[in-house]
């Protein structure tokens, strides 16, 4: 028998944890009745797993030397060459290290996962390789992606290539840093609370969080399925649109992709800003920690778009202010249930499961003291909400998310785009290794006020670099209607064509 059978004592203990009280006689009866179910487990255990085949030769990768990794932005270097021709031929791409690349290590920023090697490629990897891309390696990311700063990764803190010793933003820290440094042409990031857009704002790259479900999440380690997004980080708008064109569309394996609508994202890049209506979100400029210098750069960028022909005016969506509060039960209870108790995959969805990841990540329980403080705090909040309030606040927040979505949709009925600062600050110094835990956590979560709401609603949102404050980049965030990434790109391209963003 492949599956270990419980004895009477073990079954009684399981029952107690399920709040079931069994007599010894009932335990023996249940043990006998359970055997056919466990025989089915034996049958499944003896069958090979059903996962996509691996194409395109590759080696196991290697950890880069300090000399070739000055910002700690690489976790593993490799070279997986795609097709000889295609839309991405000749382009190098870095993958955030929560994305499966078969045969190459993936630790998702956490020592508790170190040594795990995926057995198949994420759908987005397959799509890029089929279009001629070369995968150059895995980019460092934050500890299980739970940080908007770049100081929580177990391999090492990631430095901002614009200023060593400063945050590159998170959690797609290495992805943005490598693009900003010119080490790769393109990168893939993930975004649950701003993790594509925050590092793009801090590093001065273009980062698109597409509409929820537009890009298949298959083969990417989840945090919480209703918040999980994946998308492109690039050095210019055209490359971003090109990469999204390759990535977008249903794969038949991601159940979040019902009703996906794919468009030609490059079609409107030369149309200019004329005719676009951009609503400047008042609440996006009302964050308590908004740096006035950041606000000024964003408003100057919007003035450029106005001069280029766009209609630009203030708009109010009061519900925007509740977005960060809604994220707390959704993110904390959701990640505790799916990523932690569910061993990285969770339950109750149809799609491709990484069985090897489930087996390996289950070991976090023996190493829980090694989890980052950012993750531990989220888990404590989540477990408390699940145990004390039986998940009612997750449920209510998911209901209220429809209220938030409707508020944005009403505004976007009058305006093509909403605009605001991506983050309220510029990159901050990396906390020292011996920083108090309060500082460590503050540097991870202080910048989420404008980004997190759009993970809840799923609207497309892009950070574009729009100026410098004391030598550090500022990001302008443009938010569009669901599936209207092409409109976001049209405005971003018009702004980019209007002059060097560093000169604003």
Q: Which residues are catalytic?
A: 96, 171, 195
CA atoms within 13 A on the CB side of 42: 11
Q: Are 276 and 309 in contact (CB under 8 A)?
A: yes
Q: Are 174 and 207 in contact (CB under 8 A)?
A: no
Return the bridge partners of 187, or none.
94, 233
CA pair distance 135, 188, nearest whole angstrom: 11
Q: Are 207 and 231 in contact (CB under 8 A)?
A: yes
Return the bridge partners of 126, or none.
none
What lies within 8 Å, CB to CB, of 365 at 6+ separation is none
Q: Give how far the C-alpha of residue 377 lies from the chain's centroid of Cα atoms, to the nearest Å.
A: 19
CA pair distance 71, 343, nearest whole angstrom: 31
Angle made by CA atoms 205, 372, 427, in degrees to the nearest 5 = 30
Helix, strand counts (H, E) of the chain: 14, 13
CA pair distance 338, 347, nearest whole angstrom: 7
CA pair distance 70, 63, nearest whole angstrom: 13
Q: How far apart are the first and last CA of the chain?
A: 69
Tokens linked to 328: 């707390």
CA atoms within 13 A on the CB side of 148: 26
Q: Are 464 and 239 in contact (CB under 8 A)?
A: no
Q: Where are the beta strands (DSSP E) in 85-170?
A: 92-96, 134-139, 159-160, 163-167
H or E stretch covering 200: helix 197-203
């Amino acid at each position: 028998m492949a599956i270990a059978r419980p004895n009477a004592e073990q079954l009684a203990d399981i029952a107690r944890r399920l709040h079931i009280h069994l007599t010894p006689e009932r335990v023996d009866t249940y043990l006998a009745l359970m055997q056919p179910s466990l025989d089915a487990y034996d049958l499944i255990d003896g069958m090979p797993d059903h996962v996509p085949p691996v194409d395109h030769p590759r080696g196991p990768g290697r950890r880069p030397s300090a000399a070739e990794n000055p910002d700690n932005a690489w976790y593993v270097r490799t070279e997986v060459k795609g097709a000889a021709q295609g839309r991405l031929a000749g382009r190098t791409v870095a993958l955030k290290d929560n994305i499966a690349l078969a045969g190459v290590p993936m630790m998702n920023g956490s020592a508790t996962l170190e040594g795990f090697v995926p057995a198949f490629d994420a759908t987005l990897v397959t799509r890029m390789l089929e279009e001629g891309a070369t995968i150059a390696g895995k980019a460092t990311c934050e500890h299980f992606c739970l940080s908007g700063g770049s100081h929580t990764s177990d391999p090492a803190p990631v430095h901002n290539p614009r200023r060593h010793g400063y945050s590159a933003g998170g959690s797609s820290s290495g992805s943005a840093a490598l693009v900003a440094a010119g080490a790769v042409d393109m990168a893939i990031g993930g975004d649950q609370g701003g993790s594509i857009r925050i590092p793009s704002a801090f590093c001065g790259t273009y980062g698109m969080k597409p509409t929820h479900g537009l890009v298949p999440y298959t083969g990417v380690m989840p945090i919480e399925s209703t918040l999980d997004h994946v998308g492109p980080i690039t050095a210019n708008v055209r490359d971003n649109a090109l990469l999204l064109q390759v990535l977008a569309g249903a794969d038949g394996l991601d159940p979040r992709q019902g009703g996906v609508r794919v468009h030609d994202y490059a079609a409107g890049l030369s149309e200019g800003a004329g005719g676009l209506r951009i609503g400047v979100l008042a609440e996006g400029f009302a964050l308590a920690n908004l740096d006035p210098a950041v606000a000024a750069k964003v408003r100057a960028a919007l003035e450029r778009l106005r001069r280029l022909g766009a209609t630009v005016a203030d708009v109010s969506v009061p519900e925007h202010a509740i977005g960060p509060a809604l994220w707390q039960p959704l993110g904390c209870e959701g990640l505790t249930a799916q990523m932690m108790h569910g061993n990285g995959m969770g339950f109750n969805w149809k799609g491709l499961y990484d069985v090897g990841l489930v087996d390996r990540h289950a070991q976090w329980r023996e190493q829980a003291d090694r989890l980052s403080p950012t993750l531990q705090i989220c888990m404590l909040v989540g477990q408390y909400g699940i145990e004390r309030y039986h998940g009612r606040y997750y449920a209510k927040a998911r209901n209220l998310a429809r209220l938030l979505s409707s508020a944005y949709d009403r505004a976007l009925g009058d305006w093509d785009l909403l605009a605001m600062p991506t983050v309220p600050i510029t990159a901050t110094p990396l906390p020292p290794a011996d920083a108090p835990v309060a500082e460590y956590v503050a540097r991870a979560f202080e910048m989420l006020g404008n980004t997190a709401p759009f993970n809840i609603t799923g609207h497309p949102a892009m950070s574009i670099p729009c100026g410098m404050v004391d030598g550090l980049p500022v990001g302008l965030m443009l938010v569009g209607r669901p599936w209207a990434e092409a409109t976001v790109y049209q405005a971003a391209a018009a702004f980019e064509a209007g002059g060097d963003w560093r000169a604003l």
